[in-house]
Structure formats: structure tokens, C-alpha cells
Amino acid sequence: YNKGVLNPFSISKIINIAKKLNKPIYVDPKVKNFDLYKDVRLFKPNLSEFRTFCKENTSLRKDGFKLKKNLNADILMVTRSAEGVSLFVDTDYHDIPTKARKVFDVSGAGDTVIATFAINDLCGLDPLNSSLISNLAAGRVCEEIGVNPITIESLKEIFSHHHN
């Protein structure tokens, strides 16, 4: 949250070390440091942060691919609150709608998205399916009041609900 730990010096050092060790980096950025996160695996701003940084404001699709290219990110995912997520992978673009049944509190939804995406990605799941699962997980935590972690049990429950 721009408290100073992740600053231009530390960001570049972390990215360089990760590249040398062939470790992926998953970023939930703040606008102030957008352009510092080059060559990361996943770059995941929310829509308002994305729009604040991408001043041209042509279309989400066009601006998204431009940002992805400028950052040389493998994947760009823009979280759009109740509208779901927009995913940019290679030359593919996907709009993934939210699947929450009843939203009580959005606290922790963005953290749930990136954490769920990262674990699925690290386990070898493709970016589209990792995004679908992370979107379901975020919808599930929004059904609770306060910050609640996603659990295997709650994921199983949401999968069975949306699979039927």
C-alpha cells in the first residue's frame, strides 16, 4: 500500500533476483509503481488503478494489451469488482464475469484473486483456468462478512454450486 517497503530500489532488486533464480513474480500493484514491474509473471491491478495509470482510456482491451506489452508481463489481469476480471494472455483476451451469489463484503477479494491464481499457476494450471478458479474464490469470500480466507471446503462448495 505504498508504505515504502516496495520502492524503486527494492522492486528492481527483487525482480532481478527472481529472474536469476527463474522464479515467477505475481504483482498486485499500486499506481505509483506500475511502470517498475517489468518482466513479471502476473500483473493484477484493479480497474480504477488501471484507468488512473492508462490515461488514454481508449478501450480496456486495447489499453490492456498496450500495458502488458510495455511491462513485458506474461499475464495481465484487471479485476473489475462486481464485473469480474479481464485476462490478457499472449494475444488472447477473456472477460470472466463474477459468480458471487450474494455479496456482503468485498474485503480481501483482490488478495484472494492473486493468491488463488498464483497457487494454481505454480501447480501448472493454464492462465485461463487459474483465472476462472481465482474469480470463483473471490466471489466466495465476498459472500462472508469481514476478511475470510478461501478454504478447500468453500471452493468445493462453490464448484459444486456452479457445476450444476
CA 62 to CA 156: how far, in whole Å? 35
What is the layout of strands, in order, in the sheet containing 26-27?
26-27, 42-43, 75-79, 85-89, 92-96
For the question of residue 111 being annotated catalytic, the response is yes
For 8, 47, 69, 74, the CA distances from 91, given in Å and listed in that order, are 29, 20, 10, 11
Residue with cell 499472449: 90
- pLDDT of 163 higher than 60: no
Q: How far is 69 from 101, CA to CA, in rounded Å?
A: 35
Catalytic pick among 28, 35, 90, 111: 111
pLDDT tens profile 50-84: 998 887 777 999 999 999 999 999 999 999 887 88
Across 102-116, average pLDDT: 73
pTM for the structure as a whole? 0.87
Confidence band of 26 (pLDDT split at 50, 70, 90): very high
